Amino acid sequence: MKRLCALLLATTLVIAACSSDDDGGDTFSSATEPAETTELTVFAASSLTAVFQDAIGPAFEDANPGVTVSFNVGASDALAAQIQSEGTADVFASASGTWMDEIEKDPGVSDRTDFVMNRLVIITPPDNPADIQSIDDLATPGVQLVLPAEGVPVGDYAREALDNAGILDEALANVVSNEEDNASVVAKITTGGGEADAAIVYTSDVSDAAGNDVNAVVIPEDVNVIATYPIAVVEGAPNADVAADFVAYVIASEGQATLKDYGFEPLA
Amino acid sequence: MHRRLPLGITILALVGAAFVVLPVLALVIRAPWGDLSTSLSGVGATTALRLSIEVSLAATALSLFFGVPLAWLLARGTFPGRSVLRAMVVLPIVLPPVVGGIGLLNSLGRSGVAGQWLYDGLGIQLTFTIWGAIIAATFVSMPLVVIATEAGLHSVDRRYEQAATTLGASQGLAMRRVVFPMLLPSIVAGAVLTWARALGEFGATITFAGNLEGRTQTLPLAVYQARQTDPGGAIFLSLILVVISIVVLVAMRNHLMKAR
């Protein structure tokens, strides 16, 4: 038994050592750049994960030598709570104005501007096991529906759309899981071949660039909800100047074009 | 009366103790005691608590039912690959629970490697049900019963067993009447740890079983959800978990000690 425990411990340590070696590699390569590196911390709504981490972040780093951008992604409400308790964010990009209002009150923001829009869409596994053809089908008893939790912006938008379609109660009776952020909702449809029959997420999640293996069912214009995303520099940002540059980059033509590629709708 | 320990050891020990105790103490200090009743009703504490107790007890029962024979096989069986099997069986202890959850989805989900037979053939779906939560909790906690039982088996002198069989007892009778009673403290210790681990299970559960109040939202999941909408309620829910765990661990302390 003792030998087993020792072996387990040793294996864990070796694995931990290996993985930290990998991380070390990255740190080394960026450490060879100019000495005064700036580490910008962007708190971004879960739905922005792909576009920010894969496209806008690297492009901004290329345009600003010496700057590395790290993203803390999650549900906007959770991010707002983190900013208020820990306050280490440079930039906050929220999926709803409500949570930006919270941050504007405490600790305060500057350069606040709406920068992009998103709509809702229904996703199903590629083989669409419950044969969902329209939003009304989500009311069919027995459909396994996954929603983002209440309080999460996309969760509130989804309930609003279901209400607009007049099927809120029926659809809520079909909910099998309330997920904590947008990415977790998508995962319930994509992991393991699709556990649930349908979910409501953002249209940006079904763009080619997002690369999710799902089937999309359009929610009609008259019941759909438009999510408007605000972005701002957080009061007390450790790197306020670079943060303002990042906000400017996102709302300029290049950033807007990238967002469009990822299925978002530019404001202008 | 008591011998003085070297100062260095005492200081390090106190820092270590403070590190563990402080977060729990902070929950007590920061809990908004004035809103106790409203907070607890707001976050659905009773529903989550009842579900948590059902899930953790069922997971413990399953772990014992399969884990004790498994420990027996590992301790007394001779077959190739035994050490590999032993390593695989305790893997969930070190695996991040979310990894376990993804593995469970891909194995026992309705499109999973084995789960598709259950679903297509028998119409059984584990995910998004209380059974999903029980399976997830069993996956992460069963190794504890296996380890404790196997350690116990190794410490039981095989001569008792041999004496019993020499005196005419069948192998089964010797196990039931001779080995099992000596093994019981180890099994009980393993069961308590298993139950405590199952009660606190989060990652595999939310990944495999989902998060729905009254069906799969156990206390840890309720804490996770409440921490955003109702931080005060989240603290009270956490304290429920802390109190239950402390009470049981203290109550079972003698058993745990005996098993050593």
Residue range B43-50: mean pLDDT, rounded: 84
DSSP conformation class of B201: -
Say whether B103 sits in a helix, a strand or coil: helix
- For an interface test with B, the pick among A76, A83, A195, A197 (most B C-beta atoms closer than 10 Å) comes out as A195
Note the pLDDT of residue A164.
Answer: 96
State CA B125 to chain mean position distance: 23
**Which of A100, A225, A226 has the alpha carbon at shortest distance from A162?**
A225
**Which of A205, A185, A224, A230 has the alpha carbon at shortest distance from A95?**
A230
Q: Give the Cβ contact number of residue B25 at 10 Å.
A: 11
How does the average pLDDT of chain A come out, rounded? 86
Per-residue pLDDT of B204-243, as tens digits, reads: 999 999 999 889 999 999 998 887 778 888 899 999 999 9
Question: Taking CB atoms and an 8 Å limit, are A195 and B105 in contact across chains?
Answer: yes
How does the average pLDDT of chain B come out, rounded? 89
pLDDT band, very low/low/confident/very high, at A29 (cuts 50, 70, 90): very low
Note the pLDDT of residue B17.
Answer: 95
Instruction: Note the helical H segments in A32-120.
Output: 49-50, 57-63, 76-86, 97-105
Note the pLDDT of residue B60.
Answer: 97
A30 has a pLDDT exceeding 60: no
Dig out the tokens for A203 from the structure. Answer: 């249209």
The mean-pLDDT minimum among A14-23, A160-169, A220-229 falls in A14-23
β-bridge partners, A118: A227
Chain A residues with CB inside 8 Å of B90's CB? 4, 8
Dig out the tokens for A197 from the structure. Answer: 């029959």
Note the pLDDT of residue B26.
Answer: 92
Note the pLDDT of residue B258.
Answer: 54
Closest partner residue to A175 among B207, B212, B225, by Cβ? B212
Chain B residues with CB inside 8 Å of A191's CB? 102, 105-106, 109, 207
**Which of A232, A24, A11 has the alpha carbon at shortest distance from A112?**
A232
Measure B168 CA to nearest chain A CA, in Å: 32
Crossing angle of helices B231-251 and B45-76, in 10° steps, is: 40
A21 has a pLDDT exceeding 50: no
Dig out the tokens for B156 from the structure. Answer: 């039981």
β-bridge partners, A117: A228, A265
Strands (E), chain B: none
Residue range A165-180: mean pLDDT, rounded: 95
Note the pLDDT of residue A15.
Answer: 45
CA distance B223 to B240: 10
Chain A residues with CB inside 8 Å of B110's CB? 193, 195
The mean-pLDDT minimum among A182-186, B40-44, B96-100, B131-135 falls in B40-44
Count of A–B CB contacts within 8 Å? 83
Long-range Cβ pairs for the range B172-180 (8 Å, 24+): B179/B153
pLDDT band, very low/low/confident/very high, at A171 (cuts 50, 70, 90): very high
pLDDT band, very low/low/confident/very high, at A268 (cuts 50, 70, 90): low
Dig out the tokens for A28 from the structure. Answer: 């080394």
At A121, phi and psi to the nearest 5? -145, 155
Note the pLDDT of residue B43.
Answer: 66
Chain B residues with CB inside 8 Å of A177's CB? 128, 209-212, 216
pLDDT band, very low/low/confident/very high, at A61 (cuts 50, 70, 90): very high
Residue range B50-73: mean pLDDT, rounded: 96
Task: Of A129-143, A207-221, B40-54, give the range with the top mean pLDDT.
Answer: A129-143
| Cα separations in angstroms, A191 against A125, A224, B175 | 10, 26, 44
DSSP conformation class of B31: S
Measure A112 CA to nearest chain B CA, in Å: 23
Q: What is the β-pairing status of strands A215-218 and A91-93?
A: unpaired
A57 has a pLDDT exceeding 70: yes
Q: Give the Cβ contact number of residue B85 at 10 Å.
A: 15
β-bridge partners, A122: A200, A217
Question: Taking CB atoms and an 8 Å limit, are A4 and B86 in contact across chains?
Answer: yes
Which percentage of chain B shows pLDDT scores above 90? 60
Question: Taking CB atoms and an 8 Å limit, are A179 and B211 in contact across chains?
Answer: yes
Per-residue pLDDT of B1-21, as tens digits, reads: 466 788 999 999 999 999 999
Dig out the tokens for A21 from the structure. Answer: 């070696």
Note the pLDDT of residue A151.
Answer: 84
Dig out the tokens for B191 from the structure. Answer: 């069961």
B256 has a pLDDT exceeding 70: no
A87 has a pLDDT exceeding 90: no
Note the pLDDT of residue B257.
Answer: 59
CA distance B237 to A230: 33
**Is residue A93 within 8 Å of A48, Cβ to Cβ?**
yes
Contacts of A116 (CB under 8 A, 6+ apart): A228, A229, A256, A259, A264, A265, A266, A267
Dig out the tokens for B197 from the structure. Answer: 């681990």
Q: What is the ipTM of this complex?
A: 0.78
Dig out the tokens for B183 from the structure. Answer: 């093994």
Q: Over the range B231-256, which residues count as b (16 or more CB within 10 Å of their CB) and which as e?
A: ebbbbbbbbbbeebbeeeeeebeebb
Contacts of A194 (CB under 8 A, 6+ apart): A124, A125, A126, A127, A129, B111
Chain B residues with CB inside 8 Å of A78's CB? 228
Question: Tokens 């109040």 appear where?
Answer: B213
Per-residue pLDDT of A107-136, as tens digits, reads: 999 999 999 999 999 999 999 999 999 999
Within an 8 Å CB–CB cutoff, is residue A173 touching chain B?
no
**Which of B82, B89, B96, B67 has the alpha carbon at shortest distance from B203?**
B96
Note the pLDDT of residue B136.
Answer: 97
Question: Taking CB atoms and an 8 Å limit, are A7 and B231 in contact across chains?
Answer: no
**Is residue A69 within 8 Å of A42, Cβ to Cβ?**
yes
B182 has a pLDDT exceeding 60: yes
Chain B residues with CB inside 8 Å of A10's CB? none
Residue type, B39: S
pLDDT band, very low/low/confident/very high, at A36 (cuts 50, 70, 90): confident
Per-residue pLDDT of B144-181, as tens digits, reads: 999 999 999 998 888 888 888 888 888 888 888 888 88
Residue range B111-122: mean pLDDT, rounded: 91
Contacts of B126 (CB under 8 A, 6+ apart): B108, B109, B110, B115, B118, B132, B135, B208, B209
State CA A200 to chain mean position distance: 14
Note the pLDDT of residue A6.
Answer: 52
